[in-house]
Chains A and B, each alone.
Chain A
């Protein structure tokens, strides 16, 4: 059995077989299976200034750029292992650099609230065994975390949930449109199509205060009543919730507090990157903040988010590990990577690797190199490699650390 590094579910029941050079994958979703099946496609090659070279030359150039850098930023890291993340944080600390990952515009804020103990949380195993009302808020797991419902939440039978989804679970989906996940809301379920998440929280608060809600006058009291039937309910919050809150996290925490005064409602982030939470936890242990950190200033700030560092021309060198900012960040900011020294450590060719000064090809974490990752619920999962590749993120980061 192998663990799939495709998303934050980190499914550990994957069977991979190779016969006559043909790979077959069992139990993985389409995204997960693709990582194993296509691991040899679009592989990056070592490059310096756009020209192919051998790995040692590329590594030497990367070491030189890092050594000469006066203002370095390390970015990405959500798809690599805890072991590699630790080395990257060490590198940033020694170099007094900036360090950030995708969680600064993804679900880092929720992870920080959980790590600070401001939101009650639980593990997926607890959810499977005990959860009754399961809320998906601003997330469409059918597409982004395909096995989430069948593996951990709504469909599996658990210790105290043995009668299956039709009797022992209550599904709530909150979204701006009728997503594929919302289509699963049939019997014992409710779909809230909302325009404004804050308006919905206000309506829930009204019901919790004993008043009639301004919207969904029948459905909100019913959901609260269903939650009161059980001592274990869970909210999975996604990017839709994060951006729907418009920064009003105190309002959300207050709402969770009110709900928990009535019954037990836990919160688990439903993000996509396989080891985003791992990076957040390591940073939290070391600095007390989860992301966008400057070791020079000794603090975390929005100004130190990678896109702001690019926007404000605050860095001369970027070390991009396992992510493609030219694809995921606004082009207006990401294009600045072409003007500064950019080192890309990635298994595959990406837009960023095409404009990078140095490209260091690496192993795919969890497929070609082992290690530990942290699931979205905070459980540490061991990954063992299916195929072997000597040069992985850990190897590269150790080599880069030698020069600082």
Chain B
């Protein structure tokens, strides 16, 4: 399981599992695994996936974000558009866009599995790899 977690966290690549790619008897498993890992391509470093088609631009995710509240108390903290240079999320052309994942509490080794943005998105425009 350790290798699987590392693959999901992008510390390892699935291609590094040599038997899977070198031995023909694992062909079926390899195809299924690659299919399973397809969402990883769209997800950000923290596992956040934004479905822009579902987003109406309510900005709930931007205002509830605890990092935005701490870093931008007079902008996103009080409901306005973010006033800091590189917020985590921002409304661009009517839908939410990921701008700077490095600020997110889910980023890096000492991450916190915060789901505030997803919890307050009623149309499921925001989701995480872990579900």
A residues neighboring B (CB under 8 Å)? 13-15, 24-34, 37, 128, 142-143, 146-147, 149-152, 155-158, 164-165, 180-181, 183-184, 186
Majority DSSP secondary structure for residues of B touching A:
loop
CA distance A27 to B94 in the complex (A): 7
CA distance A37 to B78 in the complex (A): 26
Residue of B55, B90, B94 touching A37 (CB-CB under 8 A): B94
Please name 23 pairs of A and B residues whose Cβ atoms are closer than 8 Å in the assembled complex, sorted by A. Answer: A13-B80, A25-B94, A26-B92, A27-B80, A27-B82, A27-B91, A29-B58, A29-B91, A29-B94, A31-B57, A33-B93, A34-B94, A142-B122, A146-B59, A147-B79, A150-B58, A150-B59, A150-B64, A151-B63, A155-B120, A156-B78, A183-B122, A184-B120
A31 touches B94 (CB 8 A): yes
CA distance A30 to B125 in the complex (A): 13
A149 touches B60 (CB 8 A): yes
Instruction: Return the 10 tightest CB-CB contacts between A and B, nearest first.
Output: A27-B81, A156-B79, A33-B94, A29-B57, A30-B94, A183-B122, A180-B122, A151-B79, A150-B63, A150-B59
- Chain B window 88-107, contacts with chain A (Cβ cutoff 8 Å), 1 for yes, 0 for no: 00111111000000000000
Residue of A142, A165, A184, A186 touching B56 (CB-CB under 8 A): A142
Q: Point out the residues of chain B lying under 8 angstroms from A151, CB to CB.
A: 59, 63, 79-80
A32 touches B57 (CB 8 A): yes
Q: Point out the residues of chain A lying under 8 angstroms from B95, CB to CB.
A: 30, 33
Expressed in whole angstroms, the minimum distance between the Cβ of A279 and any Cβ of chain B is 27
B69: Cβ under 8 A from any A Cβ? yes
B47: Cβ under 8 A from any A Cβ? no
B60 touches A29 (CB 8 A): no
Q: Point out the residues of chain A lying under 8 angstroms from B93, CB to CB.
A: 24-25, 33, 37
CA distance A149 to B56 in the complex (A): 13
CA distance A155 to B69 in the complex (A): 11
B15: Cβ under 8 A from any A Cβ? no
Chain B, residue nearest A187 (CB): B119
B78 touches A158 (CB 8 A): yes
Residue in A15, A24, A26, A34 whose Cβ sees the most chain B Cβ within 10 Å:
A26
Chain A, residue nearest B52 (CB): A30
Also in contact, A184 and B79, with CB within 8 A (given A24-B92, A33-B94): no
A156 touches B59 (CB 8 A): no
B56 touches A146 (CB 8 A): yes
A155 touches B79 (CB 8 A): yes
Q: Point out the residues of chain A lying under 8 angstroms from B59, CB to CB.
A: 27, 29, 146-147, 150-151
A128 touches B78 (CB 8 A): yes
B123: Cβ under 8 A from any A Cβ? yes
Q: Point out the residues of chain B lying under 8 angstroms from A26, CB to CB.
A: 81, 90-92
Q: Point out the residues of chain B lying under 8 angstroms from A30, CB to CB.
A: 55-57, 94-95
Q: Point out the residues of chain B lying under 8 angstroms from A142, CB to CB.
A: 56, 58, 122-123
